[in-house]
Amino acid sequence: MSDFFFALVADYGVPIVFVVTFLSCLALPVPSSILMLTSGGFAATGDLTLSTVLAAAFIGAVLGDNAGYWIARASGDRMQNWLEKNPKRNALRHKSQSFMEKWGGASVFFSCWLVAPLGPYVNYVSGLTRFTWLRFALWGIAGEVVWVSLYVGLGFTFADNITLIASMLSNASGFITAMGVAIGLGIWLWKSSKPRMDKQVQRPHI
């Protein structure tokens, strides 16, 4: 599989990095992370320029984030119906909404890199809920700086072990996402049960 991505970057260079990072922010199933690792590896060997790879990945990601935001904001109910039609998309939408309710604007930042599977859905939820665009854009830019620097930088540094690094990052991202959702659910259940517990403790006045 890694040979396929190496061939993809070798054939199309920097433009494919831009296109793939853009599409990944719209929840399309494209291998953005491993492609950035691969492009970082090519930059290490001198086949690509590191600054150009970083710029292409960053611009693609930022434009993709904002495209997702504005598509959701403009389409409204149609986007809502599209998300609800597919159980997996619907589940990710609800997880993203809970994540945003917990972390506010910082959720946009963390969804770009720390819990990347939620990223595109945080973009959509931000647009659907009409989250302030300027705050969304600034948090998103900060998050994409981290995401792009992390993956391209690791690919550049560990060019000979890209497959291993990709596997490690994928497992870590999945674990962190699951842990975050579990913690959020636990907090919600605790808050929901607290009023009931308070009512049970109260004694009627005689």
* Separation of alpha carbons 8 and 127, rounded Å: 33
pLDDT in tens, 75-88: 999 999 999 999 99
Q: Which residues contact 147 (CB under 8 A, 6 or more apart)?
A: 61, 112, 113, 116
- Identify the helix (H) or strand (E) that includes residue 24: helix 14-24
Query: Tell me: the pLDDT tens digits for 177-197?
Result: 444 544 554 555 556 665 554
How far the first Cα of the chain sits from its last, in Å, is 74
Domain count, the chain: 1
Residue 83 is predicted with a pLDDT of 92
In the prediction, which pLDDT does 5 show?
Answer: 66
Give the largest Cα separation in the chain, rounded.
84
Q: Which domain holds residue 161?
A: 2-190
Confidence band, pLDDT 50/70/90 cuts, at residue 175: very low
In this predicted structure, what is the pLDDT of residue 12? 83
Tokens linked to 141: 């830019």
Q: For residue 18, tell me if it sits in a domain.
A: yes
- Sign of the Cα pseudo-torsion (99, 101, 104, 108, in order): positive
- Say if 104 falls within a structural domain: yes
Q: Give the amino acid at 162.
A: I
Report the pLDDT value the prediction gives residue 31, as an integer from 0 to 100: 85
Residue 176 domain flag? yes
Would you say residue 173 has pLDDT above 90?
no
Residues 3-39 have pLDDT tens digits of 676 677 878 889 999 999 999 999 998 888 888 988 9
The two tokens of residue 172 are: 């870590």
Is 41 contained in some domain? yes
What type of residue sits at position 61? A
Spatial neighbors of 177 by CB under 8 A, at least 6 apart, are: 115, 116, 117, 118
Residue 97 lies in a domain: yes
Residue 169 located in a structural domain: yes
Could you read off the pLDDT of 115-154 as tens digits, one per residue?
Answer: 888 999 999 999 999 999 999 999 999 999 999 999 999 8
Q: In angstroms, how far is CA 104 from the centroid of its own chain?
A: 15
Report if residue 205 sits inside a domain.
no
Exposed, middle or buried: residue 203 (CB in 10 Å: 0-12, 13-18, 19+)? exposed
Tokens of 79: 């986007």
Nearest Cα to Cα of residue 93 among 115, 119, 75: 119
Structure tokens at 72: 């959701």
The pTM of this model reads 0.77
Q: What is the reported pLDDT for 21? A: 96
Instruction: Tell me whether residue 69 is in a domain.
Output: yes
